[in-house]
Structure 1
Amino acid sequence: MALYKDRHRELWNKCTNCGELVFKQALERNSYTCPNCDYYSPMPADGRLRYLFDSEAIFNLHPASIDKQLLDSIGMADLVDQNRFPDESQWLASAGEGTISNCPTVLAVVAPYAVPQRVHFVTLLVAIRTALEKKLPFITVYPSDALAKKRSDPPEQPELSPTEITYLTIEMDNLSQARLPQITILTDQDRQTGFLTQFPLGDVVLAEQNRMSGSSAGRRTHSSRGESSETMSSLSSYTPADVSIDYYVQRQDLPARLGKLLAFFAK
């Protein structure tokens, strides 16, 4: 937790791409985009949540602050009681219910730099079951596993296990059976390993490019889906073959792209 607090106390942020120092508040106002090289710096989970939702009117779904009545309705009260998470753990993962382009949705964001732990499992599970209970689309945002990770305090919190990953996959399959849209956004691409994540993916997968460019985002369609290939960003050449990317998007275009997808699914 000290790393997170120290990062937010700093007045300046050093761009990991060009090495230039950027005033932290200016970086936040610019959606964590470096003004010198247009590189997308990793965005904190709570900041990403606010950026994608239409307004600050977000119903918080983090287990540290979720309503007990909702926990009972989705069968999560006992699990949350067994794993008490402090408010500070919200930097590890954020989840909420709000609107994107006026479309109600549930959004869950895994923070960059955070080692996947029990709080990620519980937060995602609460978000999935809320989407199922309220019959809402479910959107997830996962940073690349290649980012340097830091454990939270207390360090004894269990890391995410393969069993919990499998459980989340099964829970997301319940959303598919209910015909509820699932969209995943992969971020913070690594040049060597591409977009790697151990978390289960949605039916539609978007990948956020690493820097802002003047051209519109390209689309990649896999032949396994029976569709033709279209233009694709050169950055996507780093993506492993087993990661199926539907669209490459720039950060500033993400809210509009999600709005179009949600409007399409709502028809």
Structure 2
Amino acid sequence: MSWLSRVRNAIPFVPKAQTAENLWHKCKGCGQMIFTKELEENLYVCPKCDFHERIGPHLRFDYTFDEGSYSALPSPRVADDPLKFRDTKRYTDRIKAARTATNEPDALLNARGTIEGRKAVVGVQDFAFMGGSMGQAVGEAFVAGVEAAIADKCPYIIFTAAGGARMQEGILSLMQMPRATVAIQMLHDAGLPYIVVLTDPTTGGVTASYAMLGDVQIAEPGALIGFAGQRVIEQTIREKLPEGFQRAEYLLDHGMLDMVKHRKELRHTLAELIDYLCAGTKAAA
């Protein structure tokens, strides 16, 4: 038994539901131990070093929409294993495991609601679901989110987080790149903006498609954003890459992003952008 467990067990007023594992969180940025409650109150941003932890769709919706204003959109149904793919495990088993772990149908969820009174449809990729990988379900959800935004005459905002295309779906996953591009054009044809918030990490085919096609490109501090990995690039060009390469701040300095915003500022920033880009979306009182 560890010393932390002995101390915890000796405290009579700690509820049984609280354990050493969920009372504390070790920051991945600075390595400091933080009270989980303190981290939650700070929107899962380290109060010591400002490291932005990865969060799932439901927390993202809570932090983005006005309280009690949003409702989830149904997730489109697609074939689970169109190629009957198997590596060390069957693809269907991997999907079942991911669904059990996240309690979500796939890696992209949409919701509609208001952001400081402005109507919006928001999509969030969940990195916890097979690395947020882009397969048919993600492509269908993206198109469904755009169609919902067009129907509501409001912007579509996407929070990206992905390791790229889903290899188990082969060419079918790569086809989601042009499909998303066409959907964005549909949004523009309707005179509505498309806003991208890149979170850690956004890489691969997602970066090569809808993650870099926003009318406004925002990123959270420290987010890893790129196509190929840094090691692959260094081996290819046989040069050492600059410090902070592929991080949000570096990309902002080199013109790939419009702004880098702290999680606490994102909601207000999105509301201001909707005002600038899409007049007339103020929700009815």
TM-score (norm 2): 0.63
Secondary structure of the residue that 2:207 maps to in structure 1? coil
Does structure 2 retain, via aligned residues, the 8 Å contact 1:103–1:259?
Answer: yes
Q: 1:52 to 1:115 in 2, by over 3 A?
A: closer
Higher helix share: 2
| Matches of 2:49 and 2:171, distance apart in 1 | 35
Does structure 1 retain, via aligned residues, the 8 Å contact 2:72–2:111?
Answer: yes
Q: Give unmatched runs, 5+ long, in structure 2.
A: 1-19, 82-94, 224-246, 280-285
Q: Which residue of 1 aligns with 2:126?
A: 111
Does structure 2 retain, via aligned residues, the 8 Å contact 1:118–1:158?
Answer: no
Deviations 1:68-100 (A, max 9, x none): xxxxxxxxxxx6265599682257322100000
Match status 1:236 vs 2:254: no
Q: Which deviates more, 200-209 or 116-125?
A: 116-125
Match status 1:249 vs 2:264: no
Match of 1:32 among 38, 44, 68: 44
TM-score (norm 1): 0.67
Q: Which residue of 1 aligns with 2:207?
A: 197
Alignment of 1:168-179 (within 5 A): 168-179=180-191
Does structure 2 retain, via aligned residues, the 8 Å contact 1:107–1:139?
Answer: yes
1:25 Cα deviation (Å)? 3.6
Q: Which residue of 2 aligns with 1:18?
A: 30
Secondary structure of the residue that 1:188 maps to in structure 2? strand
| Matches of 1:253 and 1:32, distance apart in 2 | 14
Does structure 1 retain, via aligned residues, the 8 Å contact 2:248–2:260?
Answer: no
Q: CA RMSD in A?
A: 3.5
How many positions carry a matched residue from both structures?
A: 212
Q: Which residue of 2 aligns with 1:89?
A: 104
| Matches of 2:29 and 2:119, distance apart in 1 | 36
Does structure 2 retain, via aligned residues, the 8 Å contact 1:46–1:90?
Answer: no
Alignment of 1:36-185 (within 5 A): 36-63=48-75, 80=77, 82=79, 88-89=103-104, 92-113=107-128, 114-116=131-133, 117-143=135-161, 145=163, 161-185=173-197
Q: 1:160 to 1:32 in 2, by over 3 A?
A: farther
Identity %: 26
Q: Give unmatched runs, 5+ long, in structure 1.
A: 1-8, 64-78, 212-233
Secondary structure of the residue that 1:80 maps to in structure 2? coil
Q: 1:98 to 1:159 in 2, by over 3 A?
A: farther
Does structure 2 retain, via aligned residues, the 8 Å contact 1:93–1:108?
Answer: yes
One-letter amino acid matched to 2:122: L
Does structure 2 retain, via aligned residues, the 8 Å contact 1:142–1:186?
Answer: yes
Q: Which residue of 2 aligns with 1:72?
A: none
Q: 1:99 to 1:115 in 2, by over 3 A?
A: closer
Q: 1:263 to 1:240 in 2, by over 3 A?
A: closer
| Matches of 1:141 and 1:235, distance apart in 2 | 14
